[in-house]
Amino acid sequence: MKIQVIDNIGQIQPLLLMAEADVAFFSDEIQALNAAEQLQPGLILLNFALRGSETADYTNLLLAASPASNIIIIGDDLHEDQIVNCVLAGAKGYQNSRSLAAYIDKMIRVVAAGEAWLSRKLVAYLLDAIHQNYIAQTV
């Protein structure tokens, strides 16, 4: 599996050095976007710190460049709204960076199998957001 890591603080790279995958690391968002279009990775690990509140918009750009890629947002204690915005933009999940080392192997396997990587609490929050959006559109 091709994995692309977009991380400008070097937080994710050490955890993937031993991965049995074709891994490419980028700290520049424009280079990463161009690479995603060329490489069409199966998985993109995107550090939220790179774009902050613009991460959902950047997720849209990445998916436009590489529609089949699964994007997982990596971040430090993000608020549910931030995660939901990224998921609504097309991300397949979120992982807190403090526990990333414990879950990275399982996360890669699960997402490669076509599943989302979200806690049950986040799924409930996402469903509430979808419901609120639906109500707003029907009124």
Q: What is the pLDDT of residues 4-39, one digit of tens each?
A: 999 998 888 877 766 667 899 999 999 999 999 999
Segment 96-125 shows an average pLDDT of: 94
What pLDDT shows up at residue 117?
97
What pLDDT shows up at residue 11?
82
Segment 116-132 shows an average pLDDT of: 94
What pLDDT shows up at residue 20?
64
Q: What is the CATH number of the domain that holds 116?
A: 3.40.50.2300
The secondary structure of 62-113 as a DSSP string is: HHHH-TT-EEEEEESS--HHHHHHHHHTT--EEEEGGGHHHHHHHHHHHHHT
The predicted-structure confidence for 59-106, as pLDDT tens digits, reads as follows 999 999 999 999 999 999 899 999 999 999 999 999 999 999 899 999
What pLDDT shows up at residue 22?
84
- Cα separation of 94 and 47, whole Å? 10
Segment 33-51 shows an average pLDDT of: 96
Which secondary structure element, helix H or strand E, spans residue 35, and what is its range? helix 29-39
Q: Which domain holds residue 103?
A: 2-138
Model-wide pTM > 0.75: yes
Residue 47 CA to its chain's centroid (Å): 8
| Count of domains for the chain | 1
